[in-house]
Amino acid sequence: MQFPLARYRRLLATYLKPQRGRVLGLGCLVFLGIGLQLLNPQIMRRFLDSALAAQPLEQLTKLALLFMGIAFGQQLLALGAVYLSEQIGWTATNALRADLTAHCLHLDSSFHNHKTPGELIERIDGDVTTLANFFTQFIIQLLGNGLLLLGIIVALALEDWRVAVGLIVCVAAAISLLQKMQRVGVPLWGESRQASAELFGFLEERLAATEDIRSSGARNYVMQQLYRQMLVLYRKTRKAELATAWLYNAGQSMFIIASGLGLGIGIYLYQQQQTTIGGVYIITAYIGLLTTPLEQILRQIQEFQKASAGILRIDELRQQRPAIVDGTGPTIPQQALDLRFEQVSFGYNTDTPVLRALSFELPAHQILGVLGRTGSGKTSLIRLLLRLYDPHQGTIRLGGIDIRNTSLADLRRSIGFVSQDVQLFHASVRDNLSFFDHRIADQQLLAALETLGLTNWLNSLEHGLDTLIKPNGLSAGQAQLLAFARILLKDPRLIILDEASSRLDPASEAIVERALDRLLAGRTAIIIAHRLATLQRADAILVLDAGTIREFGPRQALLQNPQSQYSQLLQHGITEVFA
């Protein structure tokens, strides 16, 4: 695997810089801990030598207390290091999660149409979590344990150079064995996991096909297949387990030989009277310390490989660019807006046009009712107006300004959109109304609910604005009214309403009608209508058919013309046609 190091450095720099102090602190804790780890065997040695030389008891007690103190301090440092590194890791990855989420939210609809929410959760939460270790542990552990390894070897060399040399040879052999373990083990484990995936795939398929299996008289056959699959899994797993175990044990044997060698040299030196009993003890103690840093270093390398895959996927995500370019031009005036479509053509792909050279004009303060069958282009027209997509040709002007020139935020601030299915979050009524914008005061929220006649509903809730809304916990009528309240709070200049096609009960319908009166007052509006009652408030009617205007004109004029589509629709009843 290739490791693009510059990318990692950039990532580390971006997310660790704000926590410089903590990172520095963590480094100090880790290095101090290593020092203490190297120190304690020395104390032990002095203790043994002093005891055997029958030194005063007082001195022995002092050494014993010092040993305990150092061990305790070492644990304290380790604890502090865990705490700090978790804080650093989560703070850094949280920042990365937020950045990635914001980035994805800004990407185009076409991106979201290809990615399921589940996949994005895996990318933003799953992949980033694998990075937590990379942020905190990787460098510190690698450096720390490398230093510890070096420290042990130096400490041993101080006792006797031959011990150090013997040890280096054994450690090198152990490392190469452990690496080989990875090389041999990874493909074998891959096969074992594959067999396991196949077994569960096999089972899932059979569990879904019990009706067919029984009625085909194939139960015994399926059981035999199960036995065969399980046997395959057993053989593959055994092969992988035993191969890794052989190599692991061989590596461990290197350590055994190393400690035997160390002890042997110690005994020899003692017999030559070149060292004390304490000296012999310290050699075995240091060699015993070796296993941990070696295993840590290997583990970090493994973790790093895992994190690398995550980093690559995250980078891939960050490189996605939205096709909708934010405008920097004039802002949209703060008044009721007139709307103009000028020769607008559009399609989701180039060979199937959805809208063809569409032109019409809606004066300020007027309400436009849009009709058309499924696929006639109603939804696309709205999407273009909200700049979820850009037209291939033509211009849309709002308040006289080309909507591609103004900023997206400004455009979307000026337009309020109520869709058929209202998106509610598993959050409080307050957050659902304000879209998590905490700058909106409760007073405003209450006023909006009051305007829409929802005060009684609010009072019926156990915790008022703090009540948790469960998705699907509201009726269609209530959800619709909450969506209206959102729009009132936003106070836009143009309202787009994709009327819910599901029929409301008569009581809710009356409430929604009254609410609509208040919502639309003093604003320009486009309504995709599914009900006759709604059309009656329209000033103009637009009938779309296969992306072109079938009919457009003032409602009254169309009504008086018995030949018009609109008047014919009224006779047939609109819901039946457009359901």
Partner 1 sequence: MKAWQLMLRLIRYRPAIYGFGVLIWSIFFISPLLPGLINRAIFDQLSGAAPAVFGIWTLLALLITTEISRRLLTQLGTAMDISVQYNIAGLLRKNMLKRILAQPGAQALYTSSSAAINNFRDDVEEILTFSIWLLDVFGNVLFSLIALGILLQINQQVTLVILVPLLIVVSAFTVANQRIQRYRQASRAATSKVSDFLGEMFGATQAIKVANAETAVIGHFQQLNDQRRQFMVKDRAFTALLSSVYANTISLGTGMILLLAGEAMRTGNFSVGDFSLFVYYFSMVTRLPSLIGLLLTHYKQAGVSFQRMQQLLKDAAPSALVEHGSITPDQQLDFSPAKALPALQRLDISNLSYCYPNSQAGIKAIDFRLERGQFVVVTGKVGSGKTTVLRALLGLVPAHGTILWNNQPIEQPAEQLIPPNCAYTAQVPRLLSSSLHDNLSLGLNLSANELQQAIETSVLAPDLQHMPAGLATELGSRGVRLSGGQLQRAALARMLVRSSELMIVDDCSSALDVTTEQQLWQGLRQHPTTWLVVSHRCAVLQLADWVIVMDAGQIAAQGPLNDLLETSPAMRELWQAEPSNQKLLLGVDAHV
The token pair that represents 141 in the structure block: 């552990």
Bridge partner list, 528: 370, 498
Of 13-21, 162-170, 337-345, 418-426, the window that binds partner 1 (rule: CB under 8 A) is 418-426
- H helix and E strand count, the chain: 23, 10
Q: Shortest distance, CB of residue 18 to partner 1, whole angstroms?
A: 14
Q: Which stretch binds partner 1 (CB under 8 A): 290-298, 339-347, 414-422, 446-454?
A: 414-422
Q: Are strands 355-362 and 339-346 parallel, antiparallel or unpaired?
A: antiparallel
Q: Position of tokens 């799953």?
A: 126
CB 548 within 8 A of CB 358: yes
Q: Is 96 within 8 Å of 15 (Cβ atoms)?
A: yes
Choice between 112 and 404, CB closer to partner 1: 112
**Min. distance of Cβ 81 from partner 1 in angstroms?**
9
Q: Which residues in 519-578 contact partner 1 (CB under 8 A)?
A: 565, 568-569, 572, 577
Q: Which stretch binds partner 1 (CB under 8 A): 2-10, 263-271, 297-305, 516-524?
A: 263-271
Query: What is the pattern of x (binds partner 1, CB under 8 A) and - over residues 451-490?
Result: --------------------x--------------x---x
Nearer to partner 1, 131 or 308 (CB): 131
Tell the burial category of 136 from Cβ atoms under 10 Å away from its Cβ (0-12, 13-18, 19+). Answer: buried
Smallest gap, in angstroms, from Cβ of residue 424 to partner 1?
9
Residues contacting partner 1: total by CB under 8 A: 123
Contacts 24+ apart (CB under 8 A), 510-515: 511/453, 511/477, 511/481, 512/477, 512/480, 512/481, 512/484, 514/453, 515/451, 515/452, 515/453, 515/481, 515/484
Task: Determine which residue in the list 16, 218, 364, 533 makes contact with partner 1, applying CB under 8 A.
Answer: 218
Other Cβ atoms less than 10 A from the Cβ of 206: the count is: 17
- Give, as ranges, the residues between 40 and 69 that touch partner 1 (CB under 8 A): 40, 44, 47-48, 51-52, 54-55, 57, 60-61, 63-65, 67-68
Confirm or reject binding of residue 216 to partner 1 (CB under 8 A): yes
Of 26-34, 232-240, 443-451, 521-529, the segment contacting partner 1 by CB under 8 A is 232-240
Q: Helix 291-318 crosses helix 139-159 at what angle (to 10 degrees)? A: 160
* Spatial separation of the C-alpha atoms in residues 570 and 560, rounded to whole Å: 12
3-state secondary structure of 543: strand
Q: What is the footprint of partner 1 within residues 111-170 (CB under 8 A)?
A: 112, 115, 117-118, 120-121, 124-125
Q: Between 91 and 179, whose beta carbon lies closer to partner 1?
A: 91
Distance CA 465, CA 431 (A): 9
CB of 73 to partner 1, least distance (A): 10
487 vs 498: CA distance, rounded Å: 13
Residue 33 or residue 308: which is nearer to partner 1 going by CB? 33
* Alpha carbon distances (Å) from 85 to 17, 36, 345, 451: 14, 20, 55, 52
Among 42, 179, 237, 395, binds partner 1 (CB under 8 A): 237
Q: How far is the CB of 5 from partner 1 (least distance, A)?
A: 28
Give, as ranges, the residues between 348 and 407 that touch partner 1 (CB under 8 A). Answer: 373, 386, 388
Is position 331 an interface residue for partner 1 (rule: CB under 8 A)? no
> Does position 1 bind partner 1 by CB under 8 A?
no
3, 425, 502, 573: residue in contact with partner 1 (rule CB under 8 A): 425
Which residue's CB is nearer to partner 1, number 3 or number 436?
Answer: 436
Tell me the closest approach of the beta carbon of residue 40 to partner 1, in angstroms. Answer: 8
Enumerate residues 6+ apart whose C-beta is below 8 A from 76.
none
